[in-house]
C-alpha cells in the first residue's frame, strides 16, 4: 500500500490546493493541523503526524517570518528524516530573514528537499486578510509606491505538487513570482475593474495600522507578524521578478488580471 503524503496546513490557501491536485493524481494524503492534533507550539504532537508518510509539504503557522520558526523547522525536518520521511517540500517567503534561515536548516537536515519561496499571494485579496477591507470598499495599509510581484496560489500548488511527485525537483529552490510588478493601489484598481466595485486605497502610517489591528482585536502574535510583513518586508527588497514557475513547470505564471477576473466571476467580492 502506498504511503500517504503529509500536508502540514492542509486547510490553508496552498495546502488545500495541493491536496486537490494530489488526490486528482490518485495519491493518498494525510492532513496535519490543530484539528487533527498537530500543533506547531507542541513538539510532542509532531511524530504521530509524520510517522509513516512518504513525503511532506510544510507550511508554517503563522508564518516563517515569525520568531522561532527556524528552530521549529530544524526540529521538524530532523524528526522527519529520523522517522524515514526524507522527502520534504517547504513553503518559504521572499525577503524574510527568519524564512531564509529556515530554508538553511531544512537543507542541512539531511532531507531530500525542495524550497518554494513565494511572494505575496493573489488570494490574500479574496481569501485572506485584505478581503474584509475590499468588501468594505476601502483598503488602508502602511504601503505606498512599493511594488510586489503577486503570485497565484494555484501556481504555487502546481509547483509544490510537482516537487512532491517528481524526483527531478529534489535539491531545487524555486523563487516564484507573478509575471509583473504591481503596487497595492494598482492591484486594488484591477480588482475594482474586475468586480465592478469601487474600492478606495489609502496609505496610512505604521501607527494607524497598528491601532487598527488593536481595535479589530487581532491576536497580539498575528498583529506583530502583520506589522512586520507590511512595514519591514514591504520596503522594496522584493521589487523584482523571478523565473521559478517557468523553471519548475515550463510555463508562465498567472497574471493578476486573470486572477481578479476569475475571482470576481465566482463572486469573491459580492
pLDDT digits 0-9 by tens, 39-69: 999 999 999 999 999 999 999 998 999 889 9
Identify whether 102 is part of a domain.
yes
Instruction: Look at residue 164 and tell me if it is in a domain.
Output: yes
Rounded-to-integer distance, Cα 244 and Cα 94, Å:
12
Q: Please give the tally of structural domains in the chain.
A: 1
Residue 235 lies in a domain: no
Task: Find the DSSP H helices in 166-238.
Answer: 184-195, 206-215, 220-228
Residue 147 scores a pLDDT above 90: yes
Beta-bridge partners for 32: 8
Look at residue 255 in the predicted model and tell me its pLDDT: 98
Q: Mean pLDDT for the chain?
A: 95
Question: In the chain, where do the E strands start and end?
Answer: 5-8, 29-32, 55-58, 87-93, 112-118, 138-141, 147-148, 172-176, 182-183, 200-203
Does residue 221 register a pLDDT over 90? no
Would residue 206 count as lying in a domain?
A: no
Position 200 pLDDT exceeds 80: yes
Give the domain CATH number at 116. Answer: 3.40.50.720
Please check whether residue 15 lies inside any domain of the structure.
yes
Q: Tell the residue number behind the cell numbers 520568531, with chain if given.
A: 67
Whether the upstream peptide bond of residue 268 has omega within 30° of 0, thus cis, is no
Q: Which cell numbers hold the place of 189? A: 484598481
Give the whole-angstrom CA distance, residue 185 versus residue 237: 18
The pLDDT confidence band at residue 228, using thresholds 50, 70 and 90, is confident
Strands 5-8 and 55-58, by their bridges, are parallel
Closest CA to 85 of 36, 52, 40: 52
Q: Does residue 1 have a pLDDT over 80?
A: no
| pLDDT band, very low/low/confident/very high, at 172 (cuts 50, 70, 90) | very high
Residue 152's pLDDT is 98
pLDDT value at residue 22:
98
Query: Is residue 219 assigned to a domain?
Result: no
Q: Is residue 130, in this structure, part of any structural domain at all?
A: no
Residue 51 lies in a domain: yes
Q: Within 10 A of 225 (CB to CB), how many other CB atoms are there? A: 17
> 201 near 187, Cβ under 8 Å?
no
105: Cβ contacts below 8 Å, ≥ 6 apart: 70, 71, 73, 74, 77
Q: What is the pLDDT of residues 82-110, one digit of tens each?
A: 999 999 999 999 999 999 999 999 999 99
Distance, in Å, from the CA atom of 36 to the CA atom of 50, rounded to the nearest integer, reads: 12
The SS3 assignment for 203 reads strand
Closest CA to 141 of 202, 72, 221: 202
Q: Tell me which residue range forms the domain holding 83.
A: 5-122+151-179+240-254
Amino acid at each position: 500500500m502506498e504511503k500517504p503524503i503529509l500536508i502540514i496546513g492542509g486547510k490553508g490557501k496552498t495546502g488545500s490546493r495541493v491536496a486537490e491536485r494530489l488526490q486528482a493524481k490518485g495519491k493518498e494524503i494525510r492532513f496535519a493541523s490543530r484539528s487533527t492534533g498537530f500543533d506547531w507550539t507542541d513538539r510532542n504532537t509532531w511524530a504521530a503526524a509524520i510517522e509513516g508518510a512518504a513525503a511532506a509539504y510544510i507550511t508554517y503557522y503563522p508564518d516563517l517570518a515569525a520568531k522561532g520558526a527556524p528552530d521549529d523547522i530544524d526540529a521538524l525536518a530532523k524528526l522527519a528524516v529520523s522517522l524515514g520521511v526524507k522527502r520534504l517540500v517547504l513553503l518559504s517567503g521572499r525577503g524574510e530573514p527568519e524564512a531564509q534561515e529556515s530554508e538553511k536548516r531544512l537543507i542541512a537536515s539531511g532531507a531530500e528537499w525542495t524550497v518554494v519561496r513565494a511572494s505575496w499571494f493573489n488570494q490574500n485579496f479574496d481569501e485572506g486578510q485584505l478581503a474584509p477591507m475590499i468588501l468594505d470598499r476601502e483598503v488602508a495599509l502602511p504601503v505606498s509606491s512599493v511594488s510586489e510581484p503577486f503570485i497565484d496560489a494555484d501556481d504555487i500548488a502546481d509547483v509544490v505538487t510537482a516537487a512532491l511527485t517528481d524526483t527531478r525537483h529534489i535539491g531545487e529552490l524555486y523563487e516564484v513570482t507573478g509575471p509583473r510588478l504591481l503596487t497595492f493601489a494598482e492591484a486594488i484598481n484591477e480588482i475594482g475593474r474586475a468586480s465592478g466595485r469601487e474600492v478606495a486605497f489609502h496609505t496610512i502610517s505604521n501607527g494607524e495600522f497598528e491601532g487598527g489591528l488593536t481595535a479589530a482585536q487581532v491576536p497580539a502574535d498575528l498583529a506583530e507578524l502583520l506589522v512586520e510583513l507590511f512595514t519591514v518586508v514591504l520596503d522594496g527588497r522584493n521589487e523584482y521578478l523571478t523565473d521559478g514557475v517557468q523553471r519548475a513547470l515550463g510555463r508562465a505564471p498567472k497574471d493578476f488580471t486573470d486572477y481578479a477576473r476569475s475571482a470576481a466571476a465566482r463572486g469573491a467580492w459580492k
